[in-house]
Amino acid sequence: MIKSYKYLISCHIMLHKHVMQFFDTIEFESGPFQNNFFETDFNDIVSRHPKIVKKPLIEIYNVLKRLNQPSRSLIIKQIRDSNKILEICEGSIIPIKLDNSVKGLKKILRDFFINLYNQVLDGNGFNDKYNTHLREHFNEFRRQNRNITLCPTCGIGELKMSESKTRDQYDHFLPKALYPFSSVNFENLVLSCKECNSPDVKGEKDTLGVSSGYIFYPFNFNHQQLTVAFNIVTDNSNPEDIIWNINYTSPELKSNEIASWKNIYDIDIRYKDFVKGRVEKWYRFYWEFMNDRDMSILNEPIRKTACLKALEIDEKLQLSFIRKPVLDGFLRDSVMARAEIEARQYI
């Protein structure tokens, strides 16, 4: 990731906590099902969702209590481990994967956790209990992370702010279709731009399956922003036909995490496509700045420094991420395209 978010602690995390508490409670139980397995606050929500919450939890319990203790504890450990998002990102835990082909207890568990997100998290039962909606989580989260205006995953898509009429999507970092146990864990719910979460990019892609085993944790307070450098492999008079090479560096030397990030979000392809459609405009901006009559009082090196400094400030303000690195590479490596663009200015 380009940047990391600050994690928001709010009442919205309570659904996940209630469910985890339920599984902690029943781990060593083997008698008849009891309503006191639910915490008082959770019981109020459960009573509003008898078919999609209470019924499957009773079914899950009745299956678990028939198992021997090691088997029961193993299943509950798998649920716990699937929610240790930091350890999963660090590669020390591999969560269990449950796709839509599973049967029996695994299917009941999978359907239950997916329904928690789809029907309960922003449903009337939870909203009435905690007097809130998912939109309010988004608003507060964006206020807490208001300095991030570009998608921290790709750095090129813009994010909506708390004042916007609509909100960005919550992306299940570990897709709920494959790793359902963390479906309502807000450590696994990351705001991203529409393209990052689209079926053409990440969608339901197996985040762990295409990774190096190490992934950027989205809420790492100590994360240091990646830097990107562009250089031209093959110049061309048509800027769209230039062949680019991109290098990514991390102050923390996280090459494995960078490899995972590139694979999960198709970063190389997206950046190259993004640049192809814009490099000519970016260079025209630079050329017009350098040849502006009002700027002629400054010598050429100072004009160049001023122009690139303005782009650098844009990056610091989260208004741009790769425009300056692209221009750096374009100015350094291109002769043909620059000549063609400059010639057009006189036609």
Residue 347 pLDDT exceeds 70: no
SS (H, E, C) the chain: CCCCCCCCCCHHHHHHHHHHHHHHHHCCCCCCCCHHHCCHHHHHHHHHCHHHHHHHHHHHHHHHCCCCHHHHHHHHHHHHHCCCHHHHHCCCCCCCCCCCCCCHHHHHHHHHHHHHHHHHCCCHHHHHHHCCCHHHHHHHHHHHCCCCCECCCCCCCECCCCCCCCCCEEEECCCCCCCHHHCCCCCCEEEECCCCCCCCCCCCCCCCCCCCCCCCCCCCCCCCCCEEEEEEEECCCCHHHCEEEEEEECCCCCHHHHHHHHHHHCHHHHHHHHHHCCHHHHHHHHHHHHCCHHHHHCCHHHHHHHHHHHHHHHHHCCCCCCHHHHHHHHHHHCCHHHHHHHHHCCC
Residue 168 pLDDT exceeds 90: no
pLDDT for 277: 86
Domains of the chain, by residue range, sit at: 11-192, 227-344
What would the mean pLDDT of 189-216 be, rounded to a whole number?
A: 91
Residue 165's pLDDT band, with cuts at 50, 70 and 90, is: confident
Residue 187 pLDDT exceeds 90: yes
pLDDT for 200: 87
What would the mean pLDDT of 124-142 be, rounded to a whole number?
A: 92
pLDDT for 204: 84
pLDDT for 346: 67
Mean per-residue pLDDT over the chain, rounded: 93
pLDDT digits (tens, 9 = 90+) for 42-55: 999 999 999 999 99
pLDDT for 205: 87
